[in-house]
Structure 1
């Protein structure tokens, strides 16, 4: 075997020597600029990169025939070994005095070789080493003519966020290339609240059995979103085995990074068929005629150099980066030129002999600077190494593997994020499900429905549902069969949980596991129960468990399924109405003042209307006004103006309704039994040194102690019967408990007790799940569906009962008639009262205009009848009986006759 490898190396040296000699023979006056090339020529990427570099040299010097320098390539095969790559680099630097090295192909190989470049000041330019650990700070002579792997993590995170997945599994190979991206990927996922609960590490020497074993472990987990970051060889094997296990069916999500997505066109069609439905992130290269022409020539050269290679290998972005890198290096070589002077400064290393004769390049720094500063538009896009000696992040293309090829579903760039079209400068979501604005995706299993990203394991494993028997069996009570040892449960909490599971969009099987504790009366028992979820003893905890801040530190809760808050159960007392000012209570203060103001306003308007009717006589007296205003059913004083009578009648309607309401309210206050709570403030109990009860095992004890309640004044009770006994015999003045328990108590003992509060806030009862459990969102939606309909009412009637939760007596309250309740009537009388004087003034003015018009017509007539008429009017005014009127009529008749028949 060693002889064979030695023969291969000898053949490579001979071939390399022949290639260099051929180049020197054809360059004429051009001076050779020696450059080393280290690639894994047994891999599809290495083969394609070699073709790109050779083709770039041909094209460059065909376009620049007058250049005085020409690259002389010394190609070495690393065979995928770090040791062979390092050995090849030492050989190139020592024996061939190379001025630069293109490569190596792998990130792990670049670590040692870049150190050699730092010492010899020879630039190392790699267009395939993408590990983020290769930084320009520690490797000043290392140039990355490609993207850092960390540049793509934000695009992957945006894709995960766009589809609403909450958990992903990272699948990567156990190499520097696979491991180094993990910190960056996990960081950006944590920023959008996405968990990585498991990392699947595939050994570099993994066999088919190893991969099958790891994939079986992934199937047993809930998460169904996998981000794959491996080499093309490992990725091919992974997806072939995943298809065998049924992991390329509906419900699974696979996302490949740009390491494989960039060379997706070079994969075997059978591999692409196994990858159907996979999403990928790849570097975007715009199409052009120059690129199409290069692809044709590249394919021809590749087939000539590799006649036994796969015919499916095509020019990809890696080949384009190699092509542009060679152009940049050739241009830099021309700028720097050839120098025969070399400073030979031995690099001494202890116990080392092969490295002592390596020289330091005189123009290495100048060559490095020329490469970095040479910015141009290459076939791969903008070639610019000024930012950290590596290519800048540009645009990523989101692809979907379909059939034997792929289709574009969108783009991602730094400024605008995800978008369907490259021209869009923003990311928007459309549709009822807030789907991302991307082209439709064909998911694994040829499904067009977006996967949830998780599901209950299909290996027959059931959910472990922990249940905790409460002292209030109406909420939850557990039973264990003595023969089968199977646990069953019943109660309001159990009914809601089982109904929520039925409404999930997928089937779920589960087993109840009873929480076993030696002392269920301890205050921390509920905390211990919830903590079992954190310890992964349960997949979900079902009980009358309250959402508390300290519990949310290690578990998540669904939305509450009960009312929230903490209140008090207190006895009620009867109020005797002995107040001498009780007659004022039927009307509120605003009602009293409003009624008085409207009374005065109405009286003033009535007086004004009567005054306007006839202001030459005695005005309407205040005594008459008061009698008229307060007379509801009849008028004690006759009103002359008809508008005044209208105003008064409207006011009487208001007064009648107000008097009837007052009478009813006052009668109720005198006859109905009034009940009020004995205490309304927990601080009053604390001040008076009263004893207070609470529900054992509840957080209420800590709540009372938190407000400096005397611990000796706090007493714990287990059941509603214990509560009732303690309240009845006066052991405690009040019971502080959560609202659901108070409702249960009042359903049984609703006579003589009532609820005060809520006096404190609380979130209510809910189910506990592990942190970031994908089941939480689905269960919460199902619970909201239950609590928002008739189902929760039926459950509460079943377990809590249909009895009234209120006391039979009427609790004391103000009950006063407010001004707002009579607003309509007061508005009506106000409008009528305000408009009446205005109408009266207009009518009076109109009447005066009519009288003036009549007087003017009479003044134009100078005959006697006019004087006689005035005399008759004066006589009529002096005559106070009916005879005066008769005399006036007769005189008028005589005067008219005299005018008609003059003597």
Structure 2
């Protein structure tokens, strides 16, 4: 053991000894490598006694502590130099000068109010010291006016769109802003008005008046202002004030009874962010920027609450609202920018401003990113205040997706959760009521109405009281719509006499009347002076012209009952049916035989005679009889339809408009009648119609007389008036050529009147129900009601093939089927003769076809029509070979010699003789003898001779002898 120890010295002890000696050697170079962090002075100007000031005094130091805890090796550390301005502009400016001159501040956080920020920003621009505000939200101060000013908060203008969306969502048409009359409040109102009025017409709201209160207003002054608002019509208020004034406003509203059912209050983010400090009444809707609920935010809020109570033990508990989040992110951004520039003395001016502007990170309030020197607009959350300053989230609003219960803009999440309004009401407030003064609405109605248009509107005078009572469709619709309003609307009619409707509209627009109820057409020009309700009656511009009878000018009227296609198809089927009958009958019926010209004439005569059921030919074949029966049925239907249509054309007056369309009216020279006190004269003149051809009338009787005596050739007016005119005078006139559409009839109100939206909604409800239809039937009758002379305008249209194609299909199929059956029968019966014709050697196909036709043209001697009880040609025994399909001598002769034509009228007589019996052909002698022997006891039946058969046999026998 001792020897082994001597061979291996203790190396571990040597290494330990060397390390101890090295630790004793001084190392000045390492100490110089990690110098202490540079100090960057940043000023903080707040109102220490205000809620926002107390929140900022806790939040900003905490944000800096958190930053350097996250970055312990930071090369530059922010040192806060806090000053209390006590809400005074001069004190804030003095503090800013002291910070920039004596304390060497590189940047300033604050000041707290917008007025202070405006002064400090001007001073900082001269000194080139960046000012980062976390609470100056007024649009009056912006980076565009002060280059070194940066807003690390949202501008008040950003929430105007959310308020306008709320007004549109709840259907509010009047909004009264209650605001603090300084730069903080006054500069916000124009943005609110623009947002309310720059929406669609259906969602537009107006600001009838405003309530501006000084920032230092007393409780009595605020109470007096609330009582003035309570006496007005509007019940929707938007409060935009600082916390101290907001508390006075809500307290005075409670005393004035304005936190009861029917009222609606909306608080801007300056109030909603401090609900725990202000504690407003229940039922208020608040708007505040949305901050994502991250774990980091929850941790900071928990630590912030403890630190706030430690810093301000005498203050009430507060929550970390949007001001605290903005202050935290602003301090973090300044510390981050100072760290990126390093401990150099150049951390001043433009470089620090650019570093702050380019700083981006995920802050507590969301993504911190300055665009144009201002914080980007995130989503707003919509809350509902409940007891003890708590809130209930109703939904969210973004400029892209609008109002939604959840973020993301999904269609199924549109809208808001149910709201609990003041007095725990769940009924959405209308937003305004009838003023407590009880003044009735002065509704202007025309005093001179033509009796011809009584259903539209009329005035009746009570003889006992000499008072005028308005009635008619227009009046009844207006009164029905008023009854559907959710509130009482007292009104009285004011007669205005005979006044042009354009003048009446202008008087309503100027405030002489509260409304005008009449058959006023909605036009673009009139809508410049007044607001119209939705149209309660649609209208178009059309014209009424006299009717003239066209019967005397139609010499070829007998062709009109059927269209050309039906005429053509009928003629084709007539020829086809005649051909089928001839094909079936000509072999067995003497009436269908003879020279070709005679057969063609018989075919055509037979076909045409069926049209009048005058065909005299006696049909022998059941096939042809079936064809004719079906065809006669079709002819019967065609004839009946033709007769009925022609009768109506000849007996019923065929009335046609004297002027067919508006173009014909324009190009013609006829005068045009128009109604007085309407927009038609201006409309016709504007369209370029010659004014010299316009004639104005007031009464419907005047229009009637002018049309009858030819003074005017047409009436151009709106369809409701023409409809009434035609109900009274429909004998000789008709409506044609709808020229243009109009806006319809509507009720006129002054611009911005809240009654427009409510009455429009009532008109829609009336239209969707049976109410509007009942009123129309009461005053205009049913649409199908009218004078009997309206039937005189009947016109009979020509019948087309489309109405009868089924009949032609039946007769065509029947004829084709019978023709096929006859052809098949013929082929089977004459198969041997046909085979001889087909197999004839050295004959062209044309000659073979001619042989086939000659065979088809021969009489069918086997038919009962050619049989007789006397002896003679064509006995049963003599025809047995032919019936069996054997080739007849005539066919053999045809095959052996040149074929003959039907046109030469030569026929084979080898089968028939008169005085002596010709011997039968050898090929059939045996068969004939067998037939005669087998039928010796039967009565012999012979074919009766006829002239055609005699001539056929003579010709054939003569050729055979040759």
Q: What TM-score range do you get, normalising by the shorter chain?
A: 0.7 to 0.9
In the superposition, relative to structure 1, how do residues 714 and 145 fare at CA in structure 2: closer, same or farther (>3 Å)?
closer
Shift of 1:810: 5.6
8 Å CA contact retained: 1:38, 1:75: yes
- Matched residue, 1:354: none
CA–CA distance in structure 2, aligned partners of residues 599 and 796 of structure 1:
53
- Matched residue, 1:657: 637
8 Å CA contact retained: 2:662, 2:737: no
Answering whether residue 372 of structure 2 is matched by residue 388 of structure 1, we say yes
364, 373, 386: which one pairs with 2:349?
A: 364
8 Å CA contact retained: 1:172, 1:179: yes
**Bigger shift: residues 700-709 or 550-559:** 700-709
- Matched residue, 1:600: 572
8 Å CA contact retained: 1:107, 1:130: yes
In the superposition, relative to structure 1, how do residues 565 and 66 fare at CA in structure 2: closer, same or farther (>3 Å)?
closer
- Matched residue, 1:205: 216
In the superposition, relative to structure 1, how do residues 815 and 253 fare at CA in structure 2: closer, same or farther (>3 Å)?
same
In the superposition, relative to structure 1, how do residues 166 and 818 fare at CA in structure 2: closer, same or farther (>3 Å)?
farther
Shift of 1:100: 1.9
CA–CA distance in structure 2, aligned partners of residues 890 and 172 of structure 1:
135
**Bigger shift: residues 506-515 or 38-47:** 506-515
1:624-670: CA deviation from partner (whole Å, max 9, x where unpaired): 35414541557644567766655544443333233223323333444
Shift of 1:771: 4.1
CA–CA distance in structure 1, aligned partners of residues 717 and 437 of structure 2:
44
102, 109, 115: which one pairs with 1:108?
A: 115
**Bigger shift: residues 132-141 or 807-816:** 807-816
CA–CA distance in structure 2, aligned partners of residues 95 and 841 of structure 1:
124
In the superposition, relative to structure 1, how do residues 653 and 80 fare at CA in structure 2: closer, same or farther (>3 Å)?
farther
- Matched residue, 1:48: 55
8 Å CA contact retained: 1:570, 1:678: yes
SS for the counterpart of 1:33 is strand
**Bigger shift: residues 634-643 or 844-853:** 844-853
Answering whether residue 126 of structure 2 is matched by residue 147 of structure 1, we say no
CA–CA distance in structure 1, aligned partners of residues 570 and 495 of structure 2:
71
695, 698, 704: which one pairs with 1:718?
A: 698
In the superposition, relative to structure 1, how do residues 838 and 741 fare at CA in structure 2: closer, same or farther (>3 Å)?
same
Shift of 1:121: 1.8
In the superposition, relative to structure 1, how do residues 874 and 370 fare at CA in structure 2: closer, same or farther (>3 Å)?
closer
**Bigger shift: residues 231-240 or 681-690:** 681-690
In the superposition, relative to structure 1, how do residues 667 and 454 fare at CA in structure 2: closer, same or farther (>3 Å)?
same
CA–CA distance in structure 2, aligned partners of residues 299 and 526 of structure 1:
68
- Matched residue, 1:8: none
- Matched residue, 1:330: 335
776, 793, 806: which one pairs with 1:827?
A: 806
- Matched residue, 1:131: 138
8 Å CA contact retained: 1:470, 1:543: no
1:157-186: CA deviation from partner (whole Å, max 9, x where unpaired): 444445555554444322222233344444
CA–CA distance in structure 2, aligned partners of residues 34 and 379 of structure 1:
24
In the superposition, relative to structure 1, how do residues 801 and 838 fare at CA in structure 2: closer, same or farther (>3 Å)?
closer
Shift of 1:48: 0.9
8 Å CA contact retained: 1:427, 1:437: no
**Bigger shift: residues 391-400 or 153-162:** 153-162
In the superposition, relative to structure 1, how do residues 692 and 595 fare at CA in structure 2: closer, same or farther (>3 Å)?
closer
CA–CA distance in structure 1, aligned partners of residues 535 and 192 of structure 2:
34
**Bigger shift: residues 870-879 or 531-540:** 870-879
Answering whether residue 266 of structure 2 is matched by residue 235 of structure 1, we say no
CA–CA distance in structure 2, aligned partners of residues 503 and 648 of structure 1:
73
**Bigger shift: residues 711-720 or 114-123:** 711-720
In the superposition, relative to structure 1, how do residues 310 and 789 fare at CA in structure 2: closer, same or farther (>3 Å)?
closer
RMSD of aligned Cα (Å)? 4.4
TM-score, length-scaled by structure 1:
0.77
- Matched residue, 2:396: 411
619, 624, 628: which one pairs with 2:603?
A: 624
SS for the counterpart of 2:798 is coil
In the superposition, relative to structure 1, how do residues 616 and 280 fare at CA in structure 2: closer, same or farther (>3 Å)?
farther
CA–CA distance in structure 2, aligned partners of residues 629 and 235 of structure 1:
103
8 Å CA contact retained: 1:694, 1:717: yes
408, 413, 438: which one pairs with 1:460?
A: 438
1:131-157: CA deviation from partner (whole Å, max 9, x where unpaired): 234333432322222223333344444
In the superposition, relative to structure 1, how do residues 236 and 870 fare at CA in structure 2: closer, same or farther (>3 Å)?
farther
- Matched residue, 1:14: none
SS for the counterpart of 1:466 is strand
In the superposition, relative to structure 1, how do residues 765 and 192 fare at CA in structure 2: closer, same or farther (>3 Å)?
closer
CA–CA distance in structure 2, aligned partners of residues 627 and 649 of structure 1:
13
In the superposition, relative to structure 1, how do residues 841 and 478 fare at CA in structure 2: closer, same or farther (>3 Å)?
closer
Listed as ranges, the matches of 1:513-552 within 5 Å are 513-515=494-496, 520=498, 525-552=500-527
690, 695, 705: which one pairs with 2:675?
A: 695
In the superposition, relative to structure 1, how do residues 283 and 607 fare at CA in structure 2: closer, same or farther (>3 Å)?
same
CA–CA distance in structure 1, aligned partners of residues 397 and 773 of structure 2:
49
**Bigger shift: residues 765-774 or 141-150:** 765-774
- Matched residue, 1:861: none
CA–CA distance in structure 2, aligned partners of residues 121 and 141 of structure 1:
7
In the superposition, relative to structure 1, how do residues 708 and 390 fare at CA in structure 2: closer, same or farther (>3 Å)?
closer
SS for the counterpart of 2:603 is helix
Shift of 1:126: 1.3
CA–CA distance in structure 1, aligned partners of residues 336 and 405 of structure 2:
38
Shift of 1:485: 11
SS for the counterpart of 2:759 is helix
Shift of 1:217: 5.2
8 Å CA contact retained: 2:877, 2:931: no
TM-score, length-scaled by structure 2:
0.73
In the superposition, relative to structure 1, how do residues 667 and 255 fare at CA in structure 2: closer, same or farther (>3 Å)?
same
Structure 2, unmatched stretches of 5+, are 1-34, 594-598, 835-875, 889-910, 921-926, 937-962
CA–CA distance in structure 1, aligned partners of residues 362 and 882 of structure 2:
122
Shift of 1:604: 2.0
- Equivalenced residue count is 809
Answering whether residue 721 of structure 2 is matched by residue 741 of structure 1, we say yes
Shift of 1:117: 1.4
CA–CA distance in structure 2, aligned partners of residues 638 and 163 of structure 1:
90
